[in-house]
Chains A and B, each alone.
Chain A
Amino acid sequence: MMAKSKNFDGLIHLSKIKAAKHLLREAANGSSFTGFLSALRTYQSTDSSVQAIQFCANRIKQFVNANEIQSLRIAILSSFTLELVEPALRVSEFCAGRDLSFRNFPYDQWAMALNSTGELDKFQPDVVFLILHLEDVAPLLAREHLVASQNELDEEATRLMGLVQSCIKSFRIRQSVPVVLSTFIAQERGVERFFDRAAHVSKVRRICSINDQLSKIVSEFSNVYVFDYAEMVSDFGRSSWFDRVAHHHTHASVSSRAMNTLADEMTSFLSAMFGQRRKVLAVDLDNTLWHGIVGEDGPNGVDAGGMWPGNAHRDFQSFLKNLRASGILLVLLSKNNEADALDGFEMNRRMPLSLSDFSVVKIDWNDKASNLMDVAKDLNLAPDSFVFMDDNPLEIALMQEQRPEVATVLAEGTASNFQSFILGTDGLLSPGLTEEDLGRADDYAVEEVRNRQQSTSNDIESFLAGLELCLEYRSPMRGELERVTQLFARTNQFNLTTIRYTYADVLSFIEDPNTALRIVRLEDRFGDYGLVGIVVIRSFGDDFCQEIDSFLMSCRVLGRQVEDSILTIVENDARRAGVRQLVGRYCETKKNHLVANFYLDRGFQSDDEAGIFKRDLIKAIPMTTPEWIKVKRDG
């Protein structure tokens, strides 16, 4: 009986797979992008076998309506054959909204491909992954570390890191696209398995030290990242990841079982790198941050510490504190009597999170979508930079309906699993930590102080004067180029033309005598805002005309008339250079209505051509900088 019913279940499952496969085949011929994507996800969730993934990849290649998604050219340089990952990567990339072009270079050519002009350059990658196995590139350490002398092992490691470094250096001269280095892990443990950590000659310690040196390479070049291959392999299970027979037989050292995991991890990494980053996590309180309902259980009845289940909430709070330190702002959205919730924090002071960790706190009975919109306004951020987490499915559904652009996370089940839900949400993780990321949450805390100051000042001008704003306007320094690229990629609201210049474009501007890229930094008596604005000005060989090609500013600094100050500087510079006409451009997007009339409001004349605004510098009275902003120039 048992066997029979099991068989029956198996048959139902089989027919489900067949149906999903059929639907996907149909969808590939002319369905919309979303229709196709949904068929793809459904089939993939019923069957993720080698055969099924290859079938999916073939349907993606065949799919005709892919023109609305961006293409991404990935080159993998590996010391072993990794072509098997292609179908899984095509599927995961497509699900992330990217159309893959893929090249895996022959395993013995990774160094040559980086070192000299050739196939890699011809492929024109958008990103290069370098994935090396110790067995291929450091054979002494991988196979005979007990036999080799310490000197020989040192030399081998030095030679390897020297090679990687010189390869990247030579590639960087030719190309500026991101390079992603992977960390090292041994494919298996050998005779040292019981004594390695205790021994004077430790293999694991040597591998750690090689991995440590990767961060040195990252700091030496721009746009180089580290992909933690070793930790991913550990998560998956080392002995299932590597295939020792295939390693020797075909150089396909990674097992086919591991390909879906590798593809998913690479895609998440690429999304963190190229995708839009969310900036805020708005989180519910009762049964999310602590166990219990403060309005019913009282301030002493809620629990985020000690033993189960409070300890799971405590650890989730610690996780959020770390998330905050990585540059994501926290906002508290709770339906409670404010006094009850505040009591809860007061009576549980040993919880990891305190009220001051939240950039904004909203405790009332209003609906959460409107509260979130208010918070967005307070923080000068668009709602699509928010992630919302709640344990109540109804609140999640309401948010999805009213604000579909907000990402939502249902805090379902035990709090032990909450952090994995957050980690699985696109847009919260960053592939590298910039100084701006590190200080962001604290900056916004300062912002709150500024806002409070604003409400106590009688008029806006005396408030602004009291801030002691100081603006710096100059060419970017080397170390600022990544932040510049980040601003081009992420600024939506105060962005006149929204041209997404890449790192390579930025580098070319610096070389180009007809293009001036200027950055704006801002500070006031409360703190440093960092690099908050970019202007790109084009001239055309003569002195007659200059065009403001790009003008963008972080929304954090709006409301201080910094933009007027910048435009005045641009105009004064143009006058000094003998320019007779200044041209501004506005390209409408879904998000930049804020600046639709920016040039008109500042004395530019609209042109016959839409989106073009001109200012005759001979006739116009010079603009003046708002007097409360001090301007610092280079040179």
Chain B
Amino acid sequence: MMAKPNTREALYADLIDMLSDLFDTAPDEIDLDTSPDTIDAWDSIGHIRLIASIEEKYDLTIPPEEQVDMLNVDLILGLLVEKLSY
């Protein structure tokens, strides 16, 4: 497994990279407001893929209650910062 990013900025960069790869979208089109409403490929299956990818990358388990709250990049980032306790 890869090294965990140790700042919020590094984590954000990681997330942009991940969303870009998963949803085949250019990195500069992704910001904190990016959500299923702004990316077509981020549908319900896309969301499952994203969760699976995050869980795998940071060696986490995200329970269903939290999965449904991850509605945009900002919220995901907030949740991850909390989970990885920076």
Asked whether B56 is an interface residue with its Cβ less than 8 Å from the other chain, the reply is yes
Asked whether B8 is an interface residue with its Cβ less than 8 Å from the other chain, the reply is no
CB distance from A122 to the nearest CB of B (A): 21
Q: Which residue of B lies closest to A7 (CB)?
A: B3
Q: Can you list, as one digit per residue, whether each of B12-30 has a CB less than 8 Å from chain A (1) or not (0)?
A: 0000001001101000000
Let me know if A49 and B57 touch, CB within 8 A.
yes
Asked whether A84 is an interface residue with its Cβ less than 8 Å from the other chain, the reply is yes
Q: Which residue of B lies closest to A58 (CB)?
A: B24
Within B43-86, the residues touching A (CB, 8 Å) are: 44-45, 48-49, 52-53, 55-57, 63-64, 67
CA of A257 to CA of B57, assembled, Å = 12
A64: B residues at CB distance < 8 A: none
| Number of chain A residues whose Cβ lies closer than 8 Å to a Cβ of chain B | 20
Let me know if A50 and B52 touch, CB within 8 A.
yes
CB-contact partner of A252 in B22, B48, B56, B63, under 8 A? B48
A256 with B52, Cβ < 8 A, contacts A51-B22, A55-B21, A249-B64 known:
yes
A50 with B3, Cβ < 8 A, contacts A58-B21, A245-B64, A256-B56 known:
no
Within A76-99, the residues touching B (CB, 8 Å) are: 81, 83-84
Let me know if A51 and B48 touch, CB within 8 A.
no
Let me know if A54 and B2 touch, CB within 8 A.
no
> Counting chain B CB atoms within 10 Å of each CB, which of A7, A54, A256 scores highest?
A54
A55: B residues at CB distance < 8 A: 21-22
A50 with B2, Cβ < 8 A, contacts A55-B21, A252-B48 known:
no
Q: Which residue of A lies closest to B52 (CB)?
A: A256
CB distance from B20 to the nearest CB of A (A): 9
Let me know if B49 and A54 touch, CB within 8 A.
yes
Q: Which residue of B lies closest to A250 (CB)?
A: B48
Please classify the interface of chain A as helix (H, G, I), strand (E, B), loop, or mixed, using the class held by over half of its residues.
helix
Asked whether A527 is an interface residue with its Cβ less than 8 Å from the other chain, the reply is no
Asked whether A52 is an interface residue with its Cβ less than 8 Å from the other chain, the reply is yes
Q: Which residue of B lies closest to A61 (CB)?
A: B24
Q: Which residue of B lies closest to A52 (CB)?
A: B21
CB-contact partner of B22 in A54, A249, A250, under 8 A? A54
B21: A residues at CB distance < 8 A: 51-52, 54-55, 58
Within A193-252, the residues touching B (CB, 8 Å) are: 245-246, 249-250, 252
CA of A245 to CA of B67, assembled, Å = 12
Q: How many A-B residue pairs have CB under 8 A?
A: 49
B53: A residues at CB distance < 8 A: 49-51, 54, 256
Asked whether A139 is an interface residue with its Cβ less than 8 Å from the other chain, the reply is no
CA of A50 to CA of B22, assembled, Å = 8
CA of A592 to CA of B57, assembled, Å = 53
Q: Which residue of A lies closest to B14 (CB)?
A: A51
Let me know if B49 and A50 touch, CB within 8 A.
yes
A83: B residues at CB distance < 8 A: 45
CB distance from B42 to the nearest CB of A (A): 12
B55: A residues at CB distance < 8 A: 256
CA of A84 to CA of B64, assembled, Å = 17
CA of A205 to CA of B63, assembled, Å = 35
CA of A257 to CA of B59, assembled, Å = 12
A252: B residues at CB distance < 8 A: 48
B64: A residues at CB distance < 8 A: 245, 249
B24: A residues at CB distance < 8 A: 58
B57: A residues at CB distance < 8 A: 49, 51
Within A449-481, the residues touching B (CB, 8 Å) are: none
Q: Which residue of B lies closest to A21 (CB)?
A: B21
A245 with B63, Cβ < 8 A, contacts A84-B52, A256-B52 known:
yes
Q: Which residue of B lies closest to A13 (CB)?
A: B2
Q: Can you list, as one digit per residue, whether each of A255-270 has a CB less than 8 Å from chain B (1) or not (0)?
A: 0110000000000000
CB distance from A86 to the nearest CB of B (A): 9
Q: Which residue of B lies closest to A256 (CB)?
A: B52
A257 with B45, Cβ < 8 A, contacts A14-B2, A58-B21, A249-B64 known:
no
**3 tightest Cβ-Cβ pairs between the two chains A and B:** A256-B52, A50-B53, A55-B21
- Taking A14-B3, A50-B52 as given, write out 14 further A-B residue pairs in contact, using a Cβ cutoff of 8 Å, ordered by the A residue number: A10-B2, A14-B2, A50-B49, A51-B18, A51-B21, A52-B21, A54-B22, A58-B24, A84-B49, A245-B63, A250-B44, A252-B48, A256-B49, A256-B56
A interface residues with partner B (beta carbon < 8 Å): 7, 10, 14, 49-52, 54-55, 58, 81, 83-84, 245-246, 249-250, 252, 256-257
List 17 A–B pairs whose Cβ atoms lie within 8 Å, in order of A's numbering.
A14-B2, A14-B3, A49-B56, A50-B49, A50-B53, A50-B56, A51-B21, A51-B56, A54-B49, A54-B53, A55-B21, A58-B24, A81-B45, A84-B45, A250-B48, A256-B52, A256-B55
